[in-house]
Amino acid sequence: MNPSTESVRERHAGAALAVSQRHTVAPSGLLQIAILTLVWGCNWPVLKMGVTELPPLTFRGATLAFAALGLLTISKLSGESIRIPRELWGKVIALALTNIAAWNGLILFGVQQMQAGRSAILAYTMPVWAVLIGFGLLHEPLSKLKIAGLVLGMCGMLVLLGEDVRTLRHSPVGALFILGAALTWALGTVLLRRWKVPLPQNTLTGWMMLLGWIPIAVCVPFFDPHPLASLAQMSGTAWFAVLYNIFLAGTLAHWAWFKMARTLPVAVSSLSSLPVPVVGVLSGMLFLGERPGPSEFVALGLVLASLAAVLLTTRSKADVATTVPE
């Protein structure tokens, strides 16, 4: 056999292996996706329990700070540095404002004018914006599977909305707040991927949450004149909601989300959040006695199909040819 032919075959085999590794999600990545889906999905009924007693900003201000301190404590106990070099402060602040402050603030203002379920579904248009922003800033290729995943996922969310799509015309300001939150979350996700801030994961996430909490805390008195009194009068149910949001939805799920955002392609990390509103519907059925109809189960199938489309290993010749020059 011609040595040059062997060399060409070896290069193509190496390129194919590189593509396979690039598009395959490791077991740790799948675990992070499962944690995110279950914890944030189940958090929708938990949030309903909490905000029935506490004003939304008071609730979020109380939980976010403790979750941030918990992550920083874990980082310190693990022997990691929690110090941020001076040259990185600008990037960390930008990430905190987009991923934490703007997302939480805009969502809360939007939910004031729209029902929580509709707000959640509209908020999870984020993957569309993240993939498009990632294409523009990171030049990540839009493969057929990614496009199919986007279409399937968005169809699933539209099915969940059903006839309530018409309500967007009745509350345009609330819808704009929610879409603004989705855009800032998407931008923050892409910036995480682009900058790859050289800080320990728990340190970065903890500081982002702590810095993002500051604007929310400043706004609390404008919406709740007596936040301490509200906290002092909480019932056991509200305490459960607060603790869930500190340790699970706050600490554990944020760690999983930002870990995925830094280590997985934007399309995978973003679309992996698509099952969250579906889990929210099912957990509402389990914990709050809600009775979803056929449309919710159709949406579940579409969203799971979108996730599978993104996670499937791609070994097409087009992908190999695209990655060889790199």
Domain edges within the chain: 24-323
pLDDT of amino acid 167: 54
* Confidence band, pLDDT 50/70/90 cuts, at residue 318: very low
Question: Cα 136 from chain centroid?
Answer: 20
When computed from its CA atoms, the radius of gyration of the chain, rounded to whole angstroms, is: 21
What is the pTM for the complete model shown? 0.76
Query: Which residue bears the tokens 């699933």?
Result: 156
pLDDT of amino acid 170: 56
The two three-digit tokens of residue 311, written as one number: 């996670």
Q: What is the DSSP string of 296-322?
A: HHHHHHHHHHHHHHHHS----HHHHHH
Q: Which residues contact 198 (CB under 8 A, 6 or more apart)?
A: 88
Amino acid at 40: W
pLDDT of amino acid 138: 80
Kindly state the average pLDDT of the residues 277-282: 81
State the Cα–Cα distance between residues 11 and 89, nearest whole angstrom.
Answer: 42
Q: Is 166 exposed, middle or buried (0-12, 13-18, 19+ CB in 10 A)?
A: exposed
* Confidence band, pLDDT 50/70/90 cuts, at residue 155: confident
Cβ atoms of 269 and 32 within 8 Å: the answer is no
Q: Beta-carbon neighbour count of residue 56 at 10 Å?
A: 20
Tens digit of pLDDT for each residue in 102-148?
998 888 777 767 766 667 777 777 777 887 888 888 887 878 887 88
The winner for highest mean pLDDT among 93-97, 147-151, 167-171, 229-233 is: 93-97
Q: Beta-carbon neighbour count of residue 151 at 10 Å?
A: 15
The two three-digit tokens of residue 117, written as one number: 């379920």
pLDDT of amino acid 164: 57
- Contacts by 86-89, CB closer than 8 A, 24 or more apart: 88/197, 88/198, 88/199
Range list of H helices, 114-171: 116-123, 126-137, 144-161, 167-170
* Confidence band, pLDDT 50/70/90 cuts, at residue 150: confident
Tens digit of pLDDT for each residue in 10-59?
444 444 434 444 455 677 778 888 888 899 889 888 888 887 888 888 98
Tens digit of pLDDT for each residue in 194-250?
898 999 988 999 999 999 999 999 999 988 888 888 889 999 999 999 999 999 998
Tens digit of pLDDT for each residue in 59-87?
899 999 999 998 999 889 989 999 999 99
Query: Which segments within 128-243 are labelled E, that is strand?
Result: none
The two three-digit tokens of residue 72, written as one number: 């920083």
